[in-house]
Chains A and B, each alone.
Chain A
Amino acid sequence: MTIETQDHIYVIGAGHAGGELAFALRQQGYAGPLTVIGDEGHLPYQRPPLSKAYLKGEVETPSLYLRQPAAYEKANISLILSRRVERIDRASKQLVFDDARTVNYSKLALATGGRARRMTINDAARAERTRNFHYLRNIDDVMAIRTRFEAGQRLIVIGGGYVGLEVAASAIARGVQVTVLEALPRVLARVTAPEMSAFYEQVHRNAGVDIRTGVEVTGLDFSADGELVSGVHTTGGVVLPADFVIVGIGLLPNTELAQAAGLSVDNGIVVDEYAVTSDPDIVAAGDCTSHPSAFCGRRIRLESVPNAVEQARTAAASLAGKPKSYDTVPWFWSDQYDLKLQMTGLSQGYDQFVLRGVMGNKSFTAFYLKDGRLIACDAVNRAQEFMVAKRMVAACKAFDPVALADETVPLKTLAGPVQAAAPPA
């Protein structure tokens, strides 16, 4: 029996990848029915401001949207929001929603993203029912947090990664008293060198943040009525009073739907370089995918906006029958205080750290080498060198560490010139 399905492409996930994928599909020439499904009550939006400008109250919700409502109407992209897909039935090419409604898909895109990793201590479940204990992943999380973001409030941030540090910087800007608790011996331990961790710890301490590394949370205190967390217990028998708590301890990919549907899953929904899953009619993109990286020589899962956007475009190209392989070098950015940090490549496994510039000047470039080859770069307030470094890292070749560190020689000299091109006529 053949299942005859009319063309209707569904995108499960209305985050950054899901939103971009839908518009990319239109750009690729797909003109048939197209629906994006999301479990949040918001149009697809960008998350980076959630720990920065939006948290500080400097911008409002509509400025977060990838595109305004009119763009969806104009592109004939339907949206189903505040709705979850409970099950994918691949045999009948059917989606089952949480309200038991079903639809049939011709092709499917999974952009389910990730969810905040939750704390596992005994008190965590109780804390999640209070009014002042927050994970930070969604607009709704931040809307709840913003009401507490006032001068003099005592904030405990659990987690010294990018989210935790950006929250701390935003909190300081609003006059909030901040303590950051990091279980590992240093902040940003998984993503940067000890020298960078030390730099950021110093910057935060200078700004008034109480950073405590090598410290785990062992328990929580609650108000008498149970509505609020009132204190945080840490290793060493310390009890810290808290007016509110924000937890940023990582992201878990939302792979359950794919797994239950029998798709290949391994630290993410497994896709090839064309963003196609183990089912030829299903693509996936963004934080939820495990994909091959020519650059790294292995499969990786990236949690970054550039990956969400560029992989979404690759997935759309595949759906539109114009496959184009995805092999961009990872890059990332983080803004804290007056420091613009831009990163390219992945530094895991490096064996040599080369500093170009003086950290104390708050403008420097750090290179990570492995067996002599440049594998990653962190640039702080060095936007031009960052752009050059992107090319250098993409070249996957060796550079002389002495030359890298020598500021008398412009970095672009080492990299070779950009091939300046005239725009196509």
Chain B
Amino acid sequence: MSIRLNVVDRNGGEHEVDTPAEGSLMEALRELDYGVTAICGGMCSCATCHVYIAPEWGGKLPDRQSDETDLLTELQFRQDTSRLSCQVQLTAQLDGLRVTLAPEE
């Protein structure tokens, strides 16, 4: 099944993206021409898939594991709403998820 993501790119442009409810948020964002680089391919090793999750959605995601937190802590552009999109699995419950792409470090 398909869910809708509301993605804000690095220029503030808003996009509606339909994507299957499977895989990671990073894999969906990687397909976009304004998307994330995801150098390590989702291995939680590079922090180039950095996004901000809209506050109303934060509580609906599983908590960060320690590796993700470790990487996020050291990012210049970290915010409280920061997540590594490779660590966010897409499910039907995330239909409508609003995310903003973080600036590149």
Contacts and interface: CB of A to CB of B under 8 A. Distances in A.
Q: How large is the interface on A (under 10, 10 to 19, 20 to 34, 35 or more residues)?
A: 20 to 34
**Interface-centre pick from A71, A309, A383 (highest chain B CB count, 10 A):** A383
B79 interface: yes
B46 A384 contact: no
Interface string A43-80: 00010110000000000000100111011001100000
Contact of A27 (B27, B33, B70): B33
B74 A309 contact: no
Contacts of A71: 31-33
Contacts of B75: 387, 418
A342 B2 CA distance: 36
A297 interface: no
B103 A418 contact: no
A358 interface: no
Contacts of B39: 305-306, 309
**Interface-centre pick from A23, A309, A387 (highest chain B CB count, 10 A):** A387
Contacts of A342: 45
A26 B33 contact: yes
Interface string A284-305: 0000000000000000000001
A72 to B, nearest CB: 10
Nearest to A335: B43
B43 A67 contact: no
A328 to B, nearest CB: 11
A70 B74 contact: no
Contacts of A306: 39, 46
A420 B82 CA distance: 13
B81 to A, nearest CB: 11
A169 to B, nearest CB: 14
A76 to B, nearest CB: 10
B40 A423 contact: no
Given A68-B31, A383-B44, A420-B78, A309 B71 contact: no
Interface in B21-76: 23, 27, 30-34, 37, 39-41, 43-47, 52, 67, 70-71, 73-76
A415 to B, nearest CB: 9
Closest 4 CB pairs of A and B: A387-B74, A384-B70, A383-B70, A333-B45
18 contacts: A23-B33, A27-B33, A49-B41, A67-B30, A67-B31, A68-B31, A305-B39, A333-B40, A333-B43, A333-B45, A335-B43, A383-B44, A387-B71, A387-B75, A419-B76, A423-B77, A423-B79, A423-B102
